[in-house]
């Protein structure tokens, strides 16, 4: 836990290589680390900093801006209830109140067994199935309180393991194509990406002019 | 009027495996790109300009004009904005999950026309399935030769990177999106420079187009600009995806010919919204995302037309229509919208960061029946500090338009529902029923 596994380390290096500047890979690498550990550990943030050429503090400072990135441990299933306008009009607060009562936790908390973290979300763009809920960013809806209980029951029993993968929105996303042309150009310009550089390193990694 | 206009961007939606390359190729997929690559890039751009394709992200800026503003430079980038987060907007989400190849093909056409050497599709992080489908489509497109070093044997090279967001509404603002794509906090950039076309990703000239905008390109190139402008009216050409939600019988997305169809058709026609749920009356509707001023029943016969809605004092925006019925508390709806902006304010500018909090708290107090009459003036004053004059289009005291979007809902309630506001104060409680889950 913490540092990236050898397999994830090579995935991370491949992701960094996709971008003209390594720092652009910061968010994808945070998703990758979350897929591994469920949240962003201090060690992971340090390693991401090394990979993209910035300080661990910059990784943390960036990650805390984004709702999906967790800098503290969360449960195995993060239940995200949307209460924005379309879901609210469809009764989302009734679902959220019920969720708090039935799980015995408030929004932002995790059940004692580590199974569920409850979150309230802004619009998830699932308004045609309002009120909608995400579990590790997989959509369910429309849900009423009974439907919510049923969902929790199925998750607890492991019956949705195929539909709901572990954390990390990219856990099932795999880029199978390399970038021979562009990687070669970058190498020719003397800016092979992926190396751990100091803070100013990323800025100096501008690719030379390339004809369109 | 509901026309029999062709479905341009949703033609494949509903087919089995609509997201696979097999389905795509069997239904004319990548033919638009093939045709585009046989033309000069400037001719492709001219065709799109002629089609008067308005940006489908919210601002409605003509895509062709955006391209023509690109600064001359050796390196140019194309970024496709799939960070759809405007409340009640879910059209791009649907397109990404159901027809990712169309987006990839449109992106390749746009990149060719603008001379971009690399393209990025920034997909909202919460769209986990969408990210999978987009990446899968990208992999398939490389294997098919529609992306990569030698596209369709023409020698044209392009790489597309599917980039995930991580949950921040503000990243839909194009300069915030670029910051995010550079691996930073999604802070909108100070203007000028006004357009990424001059200074964009890594400081290079960059085009930022919405997902639905690029999804139109294969059709526009295949069928020509004239076929596109034959649909719609005036500057609102082609079709558009509308996302309908709230208290309607059939919430969902509908691809509709621009201008010809009215809000009444969209909300009430049995083939579209199907009317107000529970047989109740319409109280108000939001015509284009929660940043837009509200309309009442008297505006139902307005066409779904960018200019017409603009003239009537609101905007077609992101194409999301939210319906509120006679049971909906307008104060509660406006409070929830204010809370959204408060939570999503990036915090750079004081009027937005502080003002949104004040507005949210005041609206909550009023909705709960704990407010006083003077709170209405106070909340409008807070709005005025963010957008002086409370005019439409709004004046701006902030780096980006998130701040000036906050007053829309509040001013709408103050103007349209003064009696309902007063009733909350007088009764010391909300006179409307709670929003309950619809059963059966």
Q: Is residue A197 part of a domain?
A: no
Each domain of chain B, given as residue ranges in start order, spans: 21-229, 232-325, 330-427
Interface contact B140, partner A, CB < 8 A: no
With residue A185 as reference, give the H or E element that holds it.
helix A180-188
Q: Cβ contact (<8 Å) for A91 and B169?
A: no
Interface contact B130, partner A, CB < 8 A: no
Whether A84 and A42 map to the same domain: the answer is no
Quote the number of domains for chain A. Answer: 2
From first to last of the 212 residues of chain A, give the pLDDT tens digit.
679 999 999 999 999 999 999 999 999 999 999 999 999 999 999 999 999 999 999 999 999 999 999 999 999 999 999 999 999 999 999 999 999 999 999 999 999 999 999 999 999 999 999 999 999 999 999 999 999 999 999 999 999 988 898 886 676 788 877 654 455 555 565 443 333 333 333 333 333 333 33
Q: How far is A23 from chain B (nearest CA, A)?
A: 5
Whether A110 and A146 map to the same domain: the answer is yes
Token pair for B103: 């987006």
Q: How far is A133 from chain B (nearest CA, A)?
A: 11
Q: Cβ contact (<8 Å) for B337 and A138?
A: no
Cα–Cα distance for residue pair B36/A144, rounded to 1 Å: 49
Residues 208-267 (B) with a CB less than 8 A from some CB of A: 243, 245-247, 251-253
Interface contact A154, partner B, CB < 8 A: no
Q: How far is A187 from chain B (nearest CA, A)?
A: 16
Beta-sheet strand order (sheet of B77-82): B159-164, B118-123, B77-82, B206-210
A75 backbone dihedrals φ, ψ, rounded to 5°? -70, 170
- Domain membership of residue A14 as a residue range: 6-71+171-188
Return the bridge partners of A117, or none.
A78, A110
Q: Are A34 and A70 in contact (CB under 8 A)?
A: yes
Q: Is residue A162 part of a domain?
A: no
Closest by Cβ to A21, choosing from B126, B202, B437: B202
Among A21, A92, A125, A191, the strongest candidate for a mutation testing the B interface, having the largest count of B CBs within 10 A, is A125
- The hierarchical CATH code for the domain B232-325 is 3.10.20.600
Interface contact B295, partner A, CB < 8 A: no
- CATH topology for B330-427? de novo design (two linked rop proteins) (1.20.1440)
Whether A46 and A103 map to the same domain: the answer is no
The single residue listed with the structure tokens 């910035």 is A54
Q: How far is A55 from chain B (nearest CA, A)?
A: 12
Tell me the HSE value of B133 on the side-chain side, using a 13 A CA sphere: 22
| Number of C-beta neighbours around residue B119 at 10 A | 24
Whether A150 and A87 map to the same domain: the answer is yes
Residues 420-439 (B) with a CB less than 8 A from some CB of A: 434-439
Cα–Cα distance for residue pair A160/B346, rounded to 1 Å: 36
The two most distant CA atoms of chain B are separated, in Å, by 73
Q: What is the CATH number of the domain that holds A35?
A: 1.10.10.1590
Whether A114 and A133 map to the same domain: the answer is yes
Q: Is residue A211 part of a domain?
A: no
Interface contact A42, partner B, CB < 8 A: no
Q: Cβ contact (<8 Å) for A136 and B251?
A: no
Q: Is residue A105 part of a domain?
A: yes
Whether A84 and A134 map to the same domain: the answer is yes
Closest chain A CA to residue B41: A212
Q: Is residue A61 part of a domain?
A: yes
Q: Is residue A161 part of a domain?
A: no
Predicted confidence (pLDDT) per residue in B198-247, tens digit:
999 999 999 999 999 999 999 999 999 999 999 999 999 999 999 999 99
pTM: 0.94
Predicted confidence (pLDDT) per residue in B305-319, tens digit:
999 999 999 999 999
Question: DSSP readout, A105-146?
Answer: --TT-B-TTSSEEEEEES--S-GGG-S-EEETTEEE-S--HH
Chain B residues within 8 A of A19 when measuring between CB atoms: 161
Whether A91 and A137 map to the same domain: the answer is yes
From first to last of the 440 residues of chain B, give the pLDDT tens digit.
889 999 999 999 999 999 999 999 999 999 999 999 999 999 999 999 999 999 999 889 999 999 999 999 999 999 999 999 999 999 999 999 999 999 999 999 999 999 998 999 999 999 999 999 999 999 999 999 999 999 999 999 999 999 999 999 999 999 999 999 999 999 999 999 999 999 999 999 999 999 999 999 999 999 999 999 999 999 999 999 999 999 999 999 999 999 999 999 999 999 999 999 999 999 999 999 999 999 999 999 999 999 999 999 999 999 999 999 999 999 999 999 999 999 999 999 999 999 999 999 999 999 999 999 999 999 999 999 999 999 999 999 999 999 999 999 999 999 999 999 999 999 999 999 999 887 75
Whether A55 and A126 map to the same domain: the answer is no
Closest by Cβ to A138, choosing from B117, B128, B436: B128
Distant-in-sequence, close-in-space partners of A190: CB < 8 Å, separation ≥ 6: none
Closest chain A CA to residue B182: A24
Interface contact A28, partner B, CB < 8 A: yes
Among A12, A64, A86, the strongest candidate for a mutation testing the B interface, having the largest count of B CBs within 10 A, is A86
Residues 339-358 (B) with a CB less than 8 A from some CB of A: 340, 343-344, 346
Q: Are B146 and B108 in contact (CB under 8 A)?
A: yes
3-state secondary structure chain B: CCCCCCCCCCCCCCCCCCCCHHHHHHCCCCHHHHHHHCCCHHHHHHHHHHHCCECCCCCCCEHHHHHHCCCCCCCCEEEEEECCCCCCCCHHHHHHHHCHHHHHHHHHHHHHHHCCCEEEEEECCCCHHHHHHHHHHHHHHHHHCCCECCHHHCCCCEEEEEEECCCCHHHHCHHHHHHHHCCCCCCCCCCCCCCCCCCCHHHCCEEEEEHHHHHHHHHHHHHCHHHHHCCEECCEECEEEEEEEECECCCEEEEEECCCCEHHHHHHCCCCCCCEHHHCCEEEEECCCCCCCCECHHHCCCECCHHHHHHCCCCCCCCEEEEEECCCCHHHHHHHHHHHHHHHCCCCCHHHHHHHHHHHHHHHHHHCCCCCHHHHHHHHHHHHHHCCCCCCCCCCCCCCCHHHHCHHHHHHHHHHCHHHHHHHHHHCCCCCCCCCCCCC
Whether A118 and A86 map to the same domain: the answer is yes
Q: Burial, B296: exposed, middle or buried (Cβ in 10 Å; 0-12, 13-18, 19+)?
A: middle
CATH superfamily of B21-229: NADH-ubiquinone oxidoreductase 51kDa subunit (3.40.50.11540)
Residues 62-81 (A) with a CB less than 8 A from some CB of B: 62-63, 65-69
Q: What is the CATH number of the domain that holds A138?
A: 3.40.30.10
Interface contact A34, partner B, CB < 8 A: no
Q: At what angle do helices B350-367 and B418-427 cross, to 10 degrees?
A: 60
Q: Specify whether the backbone of A127 is left (phi greater than 0), alpha (psi in -120 to 50) or beta.
A: alpha
């Amino acid at each position: 836990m913490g540092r990236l596994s050898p397999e994830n380390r090579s995935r991370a290096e491949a992701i960094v290589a996709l971008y003209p500047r390594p720092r652009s890979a910061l968010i994808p690498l945070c998703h990758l680390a979350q897929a591994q550990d469920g949240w962003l550990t201090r060690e992971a943030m340090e390693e991401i900093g090394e990979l993209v050429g910035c300080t661990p503090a910059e990784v943390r400072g960036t990650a805390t801006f984004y709702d999906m990135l967790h800098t503290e441990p969360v449960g195995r299933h993060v239940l995200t209830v949307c209460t924005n306008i379309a879901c609210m009009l469809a009764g989302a607060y009734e679902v959220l109140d019920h969720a708090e009562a039935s799980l015995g936790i408030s929004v932002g908390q995790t059940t004692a067994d580590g199974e569920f973290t409850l979150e309230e979300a802004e619009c998830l763009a699932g308004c045609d199935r309002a009120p909608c809920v995400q579990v590790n960013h997989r959509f369910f809806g429309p849900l009423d309180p009974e439907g919510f209980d049923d969902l929790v029951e199925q998750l607890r029993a492991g019956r949705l393991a195929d539909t709901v993968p572990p954390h990390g929105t990219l856990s099932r996303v795999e880029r199978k194509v390399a970038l021979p042309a562009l990687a070669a150009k970058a190498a020719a310009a003397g800016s092979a990406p992926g190396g751990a550089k100091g803070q100013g390193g990323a800025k100096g990694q501008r690719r030379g002019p390339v004809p369109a | 009027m509901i026309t029999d206009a062709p479905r341009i961007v949703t033609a494949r939606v509903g087919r089995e495996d609509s997201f696979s390359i097999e389905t795509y190729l069997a239904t004319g997929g990548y033919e638009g790109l093939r045709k585009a690559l046989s033309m000069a890039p400037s001719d492709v751009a001219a065709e799109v300009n002629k089609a008067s394709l308005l940006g489908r992200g919210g601002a409605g800026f003509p895509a062709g004009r955006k391209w023509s503003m690109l600064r001359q430079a050796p390196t140019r980038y194309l970024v496709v904005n799939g960070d759809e987060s405007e409340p009640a907007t879910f059209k791009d989400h649907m397109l990404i999950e159901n027809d990712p190849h169309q987006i990839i093909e449109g992106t390749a056409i746009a990149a060719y026309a603008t001379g971009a050497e690399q393209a990025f599709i920034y997909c909202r992080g919460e769209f986990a399935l969408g990210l999978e489908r987009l990446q899968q489509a990208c992999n398939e497109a490389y294997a098919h030769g529609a992306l990569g070093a030698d596209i369709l044997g023409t020698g044209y090279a392009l790489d597309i990177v599917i980039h995930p967001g991580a949950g921040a509404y503000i990243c839909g603002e194009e300069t915030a999106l670029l910051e995010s794509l550079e691996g930073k906090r999604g802070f909108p950039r100070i203007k000028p420079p006004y357009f990424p076309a001059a200074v964009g990703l890594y400081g290079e000239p960059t085009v930022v187009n919405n997902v639905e905008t690029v999804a139109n390109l294969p059709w526009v190139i295949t069928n020509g600009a004239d076929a596109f402008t034959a649909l719609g009216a005036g500057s609102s050409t082609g079709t558009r995806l509308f996302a309908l939600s709230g208290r309607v019988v059939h919430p969902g997305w509908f691809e509709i010919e621009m201008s010809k169809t009215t809000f009444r058709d969209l909300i009430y026609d049995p083939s579209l919204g199907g009317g107000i749920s529970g047989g109740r009356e319409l109280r108000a509707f939001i015509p284009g995302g929660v940043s837009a001023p509200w309309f009442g029943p008297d505006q139902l016969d307005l066409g779904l037309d960018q200019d017409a809605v603009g003239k009537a004092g609101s905007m077609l925006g992101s194409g999301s229509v939210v319906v509120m019925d006679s049971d909906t508390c307008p104060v509660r709806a406006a409070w929830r919208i204010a809370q959204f902006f408060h939570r999503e304010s990036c915090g750079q500018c004081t009027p937005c960061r502080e003002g949104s909090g004040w507005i949210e708290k005041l609206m909550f107090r009023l909705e709960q029946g704990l407010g006083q009459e003077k709170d209405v003036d106070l909340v409008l004053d807070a709005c005025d500090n963010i957008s002086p004059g409370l005019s439409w289009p709004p004046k701006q005291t902030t780096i980006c338009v998130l701040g000036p979007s906050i007053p829309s809902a509040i001013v709408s309630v103050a103007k349209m529902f003064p009696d309902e506001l007063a009733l909350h104060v007088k009764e010391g409680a909300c006179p409307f029923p709670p929003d309950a889950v619809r059963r059966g």
